[in-house]
Structure formats: structure tokens, C-alpha cells
Amino acid sequence: MIHVRLTNSMTKQKQPIESLDDKKIALYVCGITPYDAPHLGHGRCYVTFDLLYRLLIFLGYNVTYCRNFTDIDDKLLNKSEKEFGTPFKFEVIAQRYIDIFEQDMRLLNCKKPTYEPRVTETIPEIIAFVQSLVDAGNAYAIEGDVYFSIDSFPAYGKLSHRKLDGLCAGARVAISDKKRNPLDFALWKSEPEGHYYKSPWGYGRPGWHIECSAMAKKFLGSTIDIHGGGMDLIFPHHENELAQSQALQAEPFVRLWAHNAFVQIEKEKMSKSLGNFFSLDDIFRQFYPQAVRFYFLQHQYRNPLDFSLHDLASAQQSYKKLVKQFTGVNSLRCHPEPVSGSIIAEMLDFLKDDLNTPGMFGVLYKHLDTIVADSVLAGQVKYLLQEILGLTLEPLLEKELEITPEIEALLAERQKARAEKNWALSDELRDKLNQLGYEVQDKKL
């Protein structure tokens, strides 16, 4: 059987996924910091790793999937302060956005991971991890803070392919006189007496990176087969995770690092300050979540996705057509090792090759007529699309989409055209509305 291959960010090479232990695979993906509504970038990341999870399950792997919540962090404390006048209500903020995240994941048809630990539930393990690093000479405590000493870990910079000299120059502005090296990072942050958690170094709370090392070890053991996340996490987060975990063990911490590329808006990174920010909730008001999933999957995960509402609207139209093609087809389980050269094998081979979803859709569309003419083949393809791609292919129920002023204007213009029996203009406006993701149903005049 051909193995699934993924690009390893460490080597920049495609690497086969092989289980060391009876088809068991440990998958860790960095989760969200629940201080705001999840956005398109989150959607793309978690759909990518959901696809990988589904593919491995289909191929018979026994996958343990862990995805965390960073439910204590500066951003959460600041939001709590702003909203409630105290940082100590951060748990209320966290729960609110975890609920929204879970709802968004359900709508995108992402399977629930095996474990979804929260930092606030992992404090004893985090403290023990920091203590081990101090004992091993990889970390030092100073005035209640604990820092990881990057000079104690010669391989630092290997994952992000950075040279330490370059890193130091960049970090000079952030030099803290407490740190031995400006690149040393916090494992534990001190807080006033009685605040947050008690530790051997006084009261405080964990730094960001240590939580993933501690949670990965707690739920997956010392070696993770695949560690995933967005490309923006490679440095410093994953570089630091690697340093902390690898410093304490000889066996590899991670066998394969997999990262998905950004969602960009007109070639710029999506951000609130640039005013080009779309939360998943914003998008789901205008588009069907299943169509959004389909849109993500039309792009290979390692390529930046240049988002536009127009492209998403076209993807929604294509998805609707696909649903129609497979309506009435009975889903039939397909074999994980199909006859080589068959359409199913061709589709699977693309997926196994670094999750090449555009390649897979290429095979689907090339053979669509043949597929739908053969009820067995159509059933198997439907199964593949549902179980591995996670597309439900259920008819999209008409829902109330939000009507923006732009849409209202188009509708009014079209109504006028119809009253004047200007059918050409009316059709043109209907097409425009369709392109924007709206379906117009006319009643008799």
C-alpha cells in the first residue's frame, strides 16, 4: 500500500507517515486561544487536520488526536479586564469563545479530537515539566519567573531554519535584563501573592509554549507522530515547544511537523487592524458552512489561499451542483486498498500525496459523467467525499441569509426591471445575486 506522505517542515521534504506501533498514530494540533471568534484562518487549519485525521482513520490507522485550548493568556486577561473590570473573569471569556469554536467546528463537519485539554486543567503537569527543565539545567528561575535557556539546547532554530545570530539581532529590542540570553523565553510568569497558581517559584501562571509540551506528553506520550498547526506557529511557538520537550529526552519529540499556509485577503495577511478580517460566523451568515469547507478543500493546504467572497460564491455554486449530482445515490463503503488504476485509487493517491485535494477534485470532475452513470462507483465516490473529505453532500436547506444593503439595492433594481418587463436586465441581476451566494426565487407578478 502507498503510504500517506506529508511535507515535514523540519526537512522540507515529503515524508511517509509510518506507525511505529501497530498502526497507532499520535496527532497533536495546536488549538485556539479563546479570546475572540474563530476566523477563516482557523477554519482552514482545522479543516486541513480534520481531513488528515479522516484519511488516516479510513486507511485503518488508530489515531489519537489531541487539540488544546489556551484558556489562560494575556489576551484573555486583557479582554476580561476590559469587559468586567477584572482579569479574574477570564474563564467566562474562554468558555464563551470555546462554545462558538465548537459550534463552528460542528458546522464545518470537523470530527471531535480524542482529547481537547485546557491549560487551566493541566497546571500540575505544566509545573512538573518546568521543574524537570530546571533540574536538568535547561531552565533557570529568577525573581519568580522561569526562563528556558536556549544556550542549553544547541539545536535551537533547526525547525524554523533560523540562525541564532540573526535571531538575536531581531530580539534586541525586547531584551529583558533578567534574561541570560534575549531569546530565552518564559516558562512561568510570576504574579502577585495569591494570584493564579501556586508553584515552587511563587504564584504565577504558565508561559504559552510550555502548555503544548506538557499536554502533548500527558495525552500522547513522549513521541508525537505528527504535530500540526498553522505556518505562523513555526516560530517561535513550535521551535520553543521542540526545545523544551527534546531537551529532556533522547527519543524524537516529533517525527513529522506539518503546517498549513495562511488565508490571505488580496495578498495580505488577514487582520483586524487592516479591516480585512472575516470571522467564521460572519461568513456563515452569507454562505453554507459545507460550501466553505468545500472551498478550503479546493486548495492544497500548503499553498496560501487568496480569499475572495466572489471565489467563495463560485465554490458554493459548484458545491450545490455536486450535491445535486449525488442526490439519490446510495453511499457505498469503498475499500482502503482499491484496484490500482481505478478512479477511486486515483482519487486516493492524490489525497495520500500531501493531501493534494485539487488533484483529487481534478480526477472527480474529469470522470464525473462516468462516475454518476455507474451506481456502484457513484456510491463509492460519495462515500469517499463524505467520509474522507467530510462533505456531507446533504441538500442545502434554504436558510435566511443576511441581506446587506448592497444585496437590498440589487434586489430593488431587479424588482424594478421585472416590473418594466426588462427580462435581460432582470436575468443579469439574478446571476449577479447568485454569484454573491444568494438564490432568488420569483413569485408570479
Binding site for Zn ion (CB under 5 A): 30, 212
Q: Measuring CA to CA, which residue among 283, 226, 286 is closest to residue 255?
A: 226
- Least distance to Zn ion from the beta carbon of 69, Å? 11
Cα–Cα distance measured from residue 37 to residue 43, given in angstroms and rounded to the nearest whole number: 11
Q: Could you write out the DSSP letters of every residue in 285-328?
A: HHS-HHHHHHHHHTS-TTS-EEE-HHHHHHHHHHHHHHHHHHTT
232 or 374: CB nearest Zn ion = 232
CA 246 to mean position of chain CA atoms: 24
Q: Measuring CA to CA, which residue among 117, 120, 87 is closest to residue 197?
A: 120
- Least distance to Zn ion from the beta carbon of 68, Å? 7
79 or 237: CB nearest Zn ion = 237
Q: Which amino acid does the sequence have at 289?
A: P
30 or 187: CB nearest Zn ion = 30
- Least distance to Zn ion from the beta carbon of 64, Å? 16
196 or 257: CB nearest Zn ion = 257
CA distances (Å), 254 to each of 140, 249, 323, in order? 25, 11, 39
30 or 150: CB nearest Zn ion = 30
- Least distance to Zn ion from the beta carbon of 380, Å? 37
30 or 40: CB nearest Zn ion = 30
CA atoms within 13 A on the CB side of 104: 28
113 or 379: CB nearest Zn ion = 113
254 or 312: CB nearest Zn ion = 254
- Least distance to Zn ion from the beta carbon of 131, Å? 20
- Least distance to Zn ion from the beta carbon of 362, Å? 34
- Least distance to Zn ion from the beta carbon of 28, Å? 8
30 or 389: CB nearest Zn ion = 30
Cα–Cα distance measured from residue 109 to residue 290, given in angstroms and rounded to the nearest whole number: 8
Contact 297, 315 (CB under 8 A): no
Q: Which amino acid does the sequence have at 414?
A: R
Q: Coil, strand or helix: which one is 65?
A: strand
Residue 386's contacts (CB-CB under 8 Å, 6 or more residues apart) are 331, 392, 393
Residue 94's contacts (CB-CB under 8 Å, 6 or more residues apart) are 34, 35, 69, 71, 72, 76, 118, 120
- Least distance to Zn ion from the beta carbon of 237, Å? 6
CA atoms within 13 A on the CB side of 281: 9
Cα–Cα distance measured from residue 99 to residue 273, given in angstroms and rounded to the nearest whole number: 25
